[in-house]
Copies of this chain bind each other. A is one copy, B any other.
Amino acid sequence: MPFATTCRVEAVLVATDPDTFVTRRVEAVEVDLGGIPGDRHHGLTRPAGSREPMYPRGTPIRNRRQLSAVSVEECQAIADGLGLDAVLPEWLGANLLLSGLPELTRLPAGARLLFPSGAGLVCEGENRPCRHPGEVLARLHPLHPERAALPVRFVQVARGRRGIVLSVERPGRIARGDAVRIWLPRR
């Protein structure tokens, strides 16, 4: 089997506050075929939005953006690019913080993340950055010398580094500390 590598789950996070996409850390989640129950991105379907201009806005489409993952390495590169000490996965609304995959964002669509419980996620492609996380960064760093520019700068700096979106292929538990096998599609 083409297992390219393994990586590690440094944090598991959920967005359960209806007022914000910012996530908070938990020890583990039990994913089903809609994602993380109770998370704002959970569902078998979701309304088409600005990322799906090929469908009328609001049309129910299959939810391929159930979870999002970022890497420790890419978060640090974004922080360096913005002149910040750190960019936390919470501020990006990420559900998984992974280490050991420095170029997580380049993982091809169709790659699988396989967890010790037997749970499996499928990479649905790059999570293209929007301005909202930069707005969170600006609120949290009132003394930043380029504070007003952070939303735009975030989109520039985070391109190609903002991680991936995933959907659930096989339900199961995902926990902090898990070793994750990465299975690459054959081409």
Residue among B60, B109, B181, B183 making CB contact with A109, cutoff 8 Å: B109
Q: Are A59 and B126 neighbours in the complex by a CB distance under 8 Å?
A: no
Supposing A54-B183, A112-B54 touch, asked if A170 and B120 sit within 8 A by C-beta, the answer is no
Q: Are A44 and B33 neighbours in the complex by a CB distance under 8 Å?
A: yes
Q: Are B122 and A59 neighbours in the complex by a CB distance under 8 Å?
A: no
Neighbouring B residues of A54 by C-beta, 8 Å: 1, 112, 114, 120, 181, 183
> When A and B form their complex, which 8 residue pairs have the shortest distance between CB atoms, in order from nearest?
A109-B110, A109-B109, A62-B169, A61-B170, A110-B125, A61-B169, A54-B183, A54-B114
Q: Chain A: residues with CB nearer than 8 A to chain B? A: 1, 33, 44-45, 48, 53-56, 59-62, 64, 108-110, 112, 114, 118, 120, 122, 124-126, 128, 167-170, 181, 183, 185-187
